[in-house]
Structure 1
């Protein structure tokens, strides 16, 4: 889960000073946001947070206000540092009571400015809770009580769209997973066998059939699933190429029968300092162009796409067809 500045807890302040009235006064003055009952945050800092940081702060606030909270589904995915399809609308939790299941709107509040009548949160996204009534194997991870890794993956894979589900499976199976434990195919196969729904069991097996630990990014995983949905032949992943000068590159996708190389271009390749190393963005772009020129000189067609294409099937379809690939058994998604 993303790290955030510490929350201000009324209970903690009472234990230290005997009173939490200072927090109440600061809230009334408009200096604080009340994220949950008894849990506050600096208002200027709250407004400056990015969406994922604000979500993480809300999860922390829910945990602070309800020590018995057990997180699941998309929230647990984030705690386990697995990919999610954007920032969720809710904090997902489990409940043993069917009467407590369902959605509750965000309770994050700020005092109104007496002159304008505005709180300052009007354009800031808040996060409610979604309680799920299902059996849960709760463990400790990332400082929170969450569903176990295997249950989190099962709960998510059977509910997410196929490209998103494949991205989760690729990441949790991948040998390159750097943060937290991973799972094996056998782990997921055994877990799927215990699912009560035949449709859910089929879904897990479909995702596992597409999952490939060789995928190196969420964008690659989603691309590969969408390639399958669109009916294009399955590509070879991470193929290395050489010419007379030596090693050229290890490419994302390769269709040897068509002589086509596919590359997913995520923004991080040109903007992330860790990936750039000692190079500037301009130098990275130039190196990528030279790399592509050498691949084309070998007689291959190179086609590139970005995040927009993996969220719009029509764009990816047109790019791949333009490169010469033919669809074999498409689904009706484009």
Structure 2
């Protein structure tokens, strides 16, 4: 049975033990169950069933922690930097380990460490409050207005304005993360909470990305934002494809064509390839787990028909004299492995 104090965030049930500062009737029971390790105290006053909390993915626990923090704050906290990007549904390779918020003043800026509570397999996410960049002090108030993001649970979180968040965060990210985010903006592809298939948002233009440099805090940051806009592409179909482009470029290989359409002699479309080297008639394919992960895949389909369709597609394309080179996440985390595969396939250096 649920109560007004129950809320579900990213698929994790949360139980509040106070309402408007007053303890709920079942608070003593929740505290007893937490002492027994049956509940995890996510934040003071917010608990989750230990079994559900420990079985949840890291991303879901991160989103639920942000919700718990918002539920227990006296004023609406404004999430910023990588935390806001995740809550906006933008992908990151390096998932944030800290909940980052804007400090209401420099006097409250700082970090707060959360100890792992009884019953939790995983440590809690710490918090960090950071001041507004000095370079933004002269900007109109409306430009800094936070955005309210409504979650599936019906609760809402306050996120920093997306443009300001990107101008502040993208230059700080590792290059591969910055390109993954930029490609997602240009393609319109977003993640969604609670393990649902990816969703679409309004795609940005390259000019939209480049214009972020106007609100960057330093000249160095502005230069990096322009470089990010120049490298980004709306044709990357997943974070893995975006990361692949970065690694291929770093290794010095000839850049491939993206989303190449292969047709039969009669004009029938046989498939769309992630990467294509025309002179070699070579297709490059990134095979990420999410491609086949059932309801969590980009198609939302079950895994077995997806694998069968992929096999038949590859066979049809190979009949047209196309070779394939395939790689996965492990080849991107160990770039020399991808380098060896591309060299064996004959991909030239630029």
- TM-score, normalising length: structure 2: 0.80
Query: Aligned residue for 1:308?
Result: 330
Determine the C-alpha separation between the residues in 2 that align with 1:172 and 1:134.
24
Aligned to 1:229: 250
Distance 1:195 1:278 in 2: 41
Could you tell me whether the CA contact under 8 Å between 1:74 and 1:88 is conserved in 2?
Answer: yes
1:212 aligns with 2:211: no
Structure 1 vs Structure 2 CA RMSD: 2.7
Q: Deviations over 1:282-302 (max 9, x none)?
A: x54444344334433433331
Give the direction of change, closer, same or farther, for the CA distance of 1:243–1:81 in structure 2 (3 Å limit): same
State whether structure 2 residue 11 is matched by structure 1 residue 12.
no
Whole-angstrom CA distance in 2 between matches of 1:280 and 1:19: 42
Counterpart residue number, 1:98? 106
How much has 1:303 moved relative to structure 2? 0.7
Question: Which sections of structure 2, spanning at least 5 residues, go unmatched?
Answer: 1-7, 134-143, 151-155, 191-198
Q: Which runs of 5 or more residues in structure 1 are unaligned?
A: 110-118, 329-334
Question: Equivalent residues in 2 for 1:59-70 (5 A)?
Answer: 59-66=66-73, 67-70=75-78
| 1:269 corresponding residue in structure 2 | 291
1:226 is displaced (CA, Å) by 1.7
Alpha-carbon offset, residue 49 of structure 1:
2.1
Structure 1: distance between partners of 2:51 and 2:310: 41
Structure 1 position 40, deviation (Å): 1.8
Q: Do the aligned partners of residues 268 and 25 (structure 1) sit closer, same or farther apart at CA in structure 2, a change above 3 Å counting? A: closer
CA distance in 2, matches of 1:326, 1:2: 48
Give 1:237-256 correspondences, 5 Å limit: 237-244=258-265, 246-256=268-278
- The answer as to whether partners of 2:188 and 2:204 remain within 8 angstroms in 1 is no
Partner in structure 1 of residue 160 of structure 2: 147
Deviation at 1:238, TM superposition (A): 0.9
TM-score by length of 1: 0.84
Mark the CA change 1:23 to 1:278 in structure 2 (over 3 Å): closer, same or farther: closer
Cross-structure match for 2:136: none
The corresponding residue for 1:112 is none
2:321 to 299, 303, 311: 299
Post-superposition CA distance 1:65-105 (Å, at most 9, x none): 11331101111111111102244211111114334333322
The superposition leaves residues 33-65 of structure 1 with CA deviations (integer Å, 9 ceiling, x where unpaired) of 222122222223322322222112111111111
- Could you tell me which residue of structure 1 aligns to residue 38 of structure 2? 31
Which one of the candidate residues 200, 207, 211 is aligned to 1:190? Answer: 211
After superposition, give the CA deviation of every residue in 1:140-178 in whole Å (9 maximum; x if it has no partner): 113111111212222332122212111111111215563
**Which of the residues 131, 134, 137 maps onto 1:133?**
131
